[in-house]
Structure 1
Amino acid sequence: MRRHELTDREWELLAPLIQRAATGRPRVEDRQIINGMVYKIRTGISWRDLPERYGPWKTVYTRFRRYALEGMFTRALQQVQAYADEVGDINWLVQIDSTVVRAHQHAATGRKGGSTGRTNRNDHALGRSRGGLTTKIHLACDGKGRPLAILLTPGQRHDSVYARPLLERIRVPRTGLGRPRCKPDQVIADKAYSSRGFRAYLRKRGIACTIPEKADQMQHRRSRGRRGGRPPAFDRQIYRRRNIVERCFNRLKGFRGIATRYDKTATSYEAAVNLASFLLWARSV
């Protein structure tokens, strides 16, 4: 095994999900192609610059694009999560946060707005913020710092707007009978997620939360006296564990193709993030 390639354990988890045609001309070995994808995401190089040992670069790119559209890497991530849940390895003290990723100029050259040609920076999760064209990765991870759900948005979008859609993406299938697990035991988040609507949503689902209250919200509640209600519960000891989601981001951004976005479409970039997340899980279970 070379540097930046699949281990035998990772290939064992991923191989059953790859569909193979019964007829047709001989194809390049699947593991060789997947290794090319992992190498590309790890190093952030251009598809055209892939080493020849991975086969023709067009073949690697074509299969990556096909797998991205089919959602194969999403299924791989869910499969390894299901295995971890079966052996009781998932810590359901879930933390949520987001990080901004700078989009390379190669990611910003595609046509926006579809066939009409209208410029719309929100297409493909590209938006303009202080850093220029950026994408924001919203992440929910378990208590051991492994991704449970991922959501891409333009870089200027506020975190709290996508808190509910992010939590609703948590879906860990069962290996046997039963519905997928979608409900965390508790959610830890920073002040960006402190809103009455989000707290009410968590109460409705029966999910405990540890979210600090903003200063202006605290002042407004106190100014109303008794009508302001009680302050929300907040456990400082539990909140100290919020750095786990930051460490998860650091591990994801160890992949240079994730730390900087080179993909033109949100589908391809999300597939790359899912593949990197799968590798983080596969190396911990």
Structure 2
Amino acid sequence: MAKTLYWLSDDEWAAIQPHLPTGRRGARRVDDRRVISGILHMLRTGARWRDCPSEYGPYTTIYNRFNRWSKQGVWEDVFYVLSGSSGVVGTTSADSTSIKAHRSASGGKGGSLRRRSDDHAADGRPRFMP
């Protein structure tokens, strides 16, 4: 394989290799360095997993490894080794995107419980009993 295929240098790879899970039962595991390079390529480009170049291996392997290691917390260890930070941010923010709600989303069946009768609404002035 071409040297430009790998996104991590030899020093970076040597640093993160001890933090990767080992001893998994099942089929023989493909090259971790190639798969991690494929994951980094996909995250960097923002493309669909299905569009992963075949040089990194099957896209299902790339996605499954990313997903499984995300659930196991492996990426936090890798980020910490490479950057000195876990990559987990303590604060979050939401964008100001608005979502269109259905017209009956504000209440239960029948809408609001308090309704003015037609007579009172037509009169326009409230009536009180002393």
Deviations 1:100-139 (A, max 9, x none): xxxxxxxxxxxxxxxxxxxxxxxxxxxxxxxxxxxxxxxx
What root-mean-square deviation, in Å, do the aligned CA atoms of Structure 1 and Structure 2 show? 2.7
Aligned 8 A contact 1:50 1:57 in 2: yes
Query: Which protein has the bigger strand share?
Result: 1
1:13 counterpart SS class: helix
Match of 2:68 among 66, 69, 80: 66
- If the length of structure 1 is used for normalisation, what is the TM-score? 0.29
Residue number in structure 2 paired with 1:235: none
What runs of 5+ residues in structure 1 fail to find an aligned partner?
83-145, 158-285
Find 1:13's aligned residue among 11, 15, 18: 15
Q: Verify: 1:44 aligned to 2:55, yes or no.
A: no
- Distance in 2 (CA, whole Å) between partners of 1:55 and 1:3 is 12
Tell me the CA shift for residue 151 of structure 1. 3.9
What are the ranges of 5 or more consecutive residues in structure 2 without an aligned counterpart?
97-130
Per-residue deviation, residues 184-230 of structure 1 (Å, max 9, x unmatched): xxxxxxxxxxxxxxxxxxxxxxxxxxxxxxxxxxxxxxxxxxxxxxx
Change in CA separation of 1:73 and 1:23 when aligned onto 2, cut-off 3 Å: closer
Give the secondary-structure state (helix, strand or coil) at the position aligned to 2:4. coil
**Conserved 8 A contact 1:4-1:39:** no
Q: Which amino acid aligns with 2:39?
A: M
Aligned to 2:59: 57
Shift of 1:72: 1.0
Describe how 1:120-159 pairs up with structure 2 within 5 A: 149-151=88-90, 153-156=92-95
How high is the sequence identity, in percent, across the aligned residues?
31
RCO comparison, higher one (Cα < 8 Å, 6+): 1
Relative distance call for 1:72 and 1:2 in structure 2 (3 A) is same
- Residue 28 (str. 1) matches residue 7 (str. 2): no
